[in-house]
Structure 1
Amino acid sequence: PEMSSSEIDEIIKSADIAFNDWKNVGFDERAKLMKNAAAVLNKKKHELAKLMTLEMGKPILQSVAEVEKCAWVCEYYSENAEQFLSDKIIGTDASKSFVCYNPLGVVLAVMPWNFPLWQVFRFAAPGLMAGNAGILKHSSNVSGCAIAIEDIFKEAGFPENLFRSILVKSSKMDKVIEHPLIRAVTLTGSVPAGRSVAAKAGAMLKKTVLELGGSDPYLILDDADVEQASGTCVTARLINGGQSCIAAKRFLIVESVYDEFVELFLEKMKQVKMGDPFDEEYFLGPQASKTLRDELHQQVIKSVDLGAELLLGGEIPELKGAFYPATILANVKKGMPAYDEELFGPVAALIKVKDESEAIQVANDSIFGLGAAVFTEDIVKGEKIVKEKINAGACFVNAFVKSDPRLPFGGVKESGYGRELSEFGIKEFVNIKTVYIK
């Protein structure tokens, strides 16, 4: 049931009271509790995985892996937060000058359904270790996960009310952002959701971090190991049912290897089994809802109407549920949804390019800039391309893009701003304070 405004007000006030004690708790104690959270996650991983699969349809093995990754991020920050936030002496003409990092207070996290635990823990682990409190507004279709996360922190021994979930419609979020005790907002979600939250937070002069959509390009160059690349690309497109901001969306294939790549990619996509997400045999489960599945199908139909060639899939199956098959669109061109928009599902867009320089130009020809990958046997060249020429926040060579607690994660352009994870992520929601002693 949805919470009333007064209930939400009470929760935020309680979180602020908890924060005022928590900010004075030492790193040793914070780290001990965060390690406990990791242990709770590992202990309950099968139960939590089943809840995720039940609520949003993620294949069960991927759900288990997600819980394990949440435990990892808790362990990572329990071990590294103190070092990341230790005072930094800077030599000036003062007798002593340094930078210290103070927590901000209660941070609001607006989170999506596609990775119901991971998206939250990658904010909560650094946020709580930095001394902040957290209020979670989760997607309405994963309310069970939202409550479960609150319970994990309780069971780990964190102070009462330090991390709370609120059940409220997105349309009522302005009031929450306006609350004087909410100091900052982090959002993972769609571009429209990001604009809306950032506009409100901006009006209130509250710091935001936004992790929005992506249309990640995967560049298959003429010297790529096509066998390896095709297999990696199938996984990168279909993981989590293709419902990931950093899934591979656009495949830019140099014409000299185009036919060979397409043949292997098609063969491997055909082999992927779709079915009951609770059955470990299936790599592809349903989409999160029929509405989302139907929107995706419309993008496919419109692309085909505009001249894209359907090589595989593209039809709503007879199966009960929100299923959509592994789908391949070839001959994708600018002006088609498959080129211009994010396809949030198991649909691959193949684009033939003349050479490396056209591949780079097409890769950057997007409103998004989240992830990208380049496949080439020449590692030096691959590194140079991703370092200097691709406009995205996370660029990989010969591997699919994934988040890692040790590395910063985030994008440019309409993929958002700010960074999560690593040392950069924990410093987003602190007061970077200059101290100068004459």
Structure 2
Amino acid sequence: MSASYHESGSVQFLQKLFRGFLFIPVLLALSGAIMALIAIWADRSGVIEPGSALSSFLDISTDGARSVLSTIAGAMMSVISLVYSLTLVVFTLAAGNIGPRLLETFANNRVNQITIGLLGATFLYALIVLYVVGEETVPHISVAVAITLAVISFFWLVYFVNDVSRRIMVDNEIGRTQKSLRAAIDLLLRSEPEENADDRKVIPETPGTEVTSSASGYVTAINGKRLMELAEENDGFIEVLVQPGSYVIEGMAILRLYQGAREIDPETLRTVFQTRYARAPEGDIQFSIHLNVEIALRALSPGINDAYTAISAIDHLSASLGRIVQRGAPTAIIRDKQDTPRVWLSILSVSDILDAALNPLRQASCGNVLVSERLIQALGRMALVCLPRHKSILQKHLRRIASDARQKLISHADREEIARALSSANKTLAKV
């Protein structure tokens, strides 16, 4: 079952907290200030004995200490401005060339967050130590640590520039989004039985009571475990009418209660849903698929017309979809410890998942022989690993591609090329 059917509000809050350029950079910057106080205490407590070899090595004049610290503090502020500027430039390039919804993955990049935090920590450290430098008091240890932090910041900045230069390469970003999608799929399929076509038979035939949403927005998480506990406590059954990624409006039905569950307070039930103004990648398979598909669609747009980027996206996407047709979607039922069905979840079927990925790609590549042929080959690769019960889904998409080719392709040679690719894919499917 998807992680979004188990996450509580606190888990969602922590995930949101660690996104962007606020929490981690501020946390690292504050750690720099704390480190400065510790280093100043070490200087004043006489950790290093005067006259020792280490003391002589760290010896520096008052003017020298002030010059070093002020140089480090000033340099860090300049570099922080440079990092922010470079990050915004990368965001602009990514939004224009790859896809605007991928900006969230850029903002969540730990390298960016650590870079800003480390530079901020070095700046605050140097500033605080500079404040305590007196005419007769020179914090030798503190100055040495400041120099060490500056050296670390320099090498980390080099790593940051290398990481940024790689992230704007579209093939690398396609690989990262595919890896994220694969992780979401593996989480969806983790320790779950395969899809059962008779799942809905467990829903009671008695009339149910609907619970409506009290807010509008995208559903990002549903606490399925809590729903099961409530249904068990009241000896009832709960049907979930929406899924993570669904957009709900105020007054829209989100649950249907049966039997004893009809006595549960609606406000208590609404707390198991988490909604946001934007979709979140955690547990939302369709959102992760759309990120991959968006790269291909943008590449196929008239303004860009980059067929090979679309082909790369299709190739990577076929690996993730192949995992789905190998296993199938998980069961929609949550049972209690006595194996009694308590909750029915709205789960995407294998057909829904493949439709979300393949229909937009087929429609956008219609008339493009190069991309259409690669899409057929991707379906052929999935046929090599799919279960027999998913064979008809792949055949459906091959028929749609064939129909589009007959309508859109004028050249006889192009039609023959597509026909050969379709024949090869159908032969592979025939062996399933």
Same fold (TM over 0.5): no
The structure number with the bigger radius of gyration is: 2
Higher strand share: 1
TM-score normalised according to structure 2 size: 0.26
TM-score normalised according to structure 1 size: 0.26
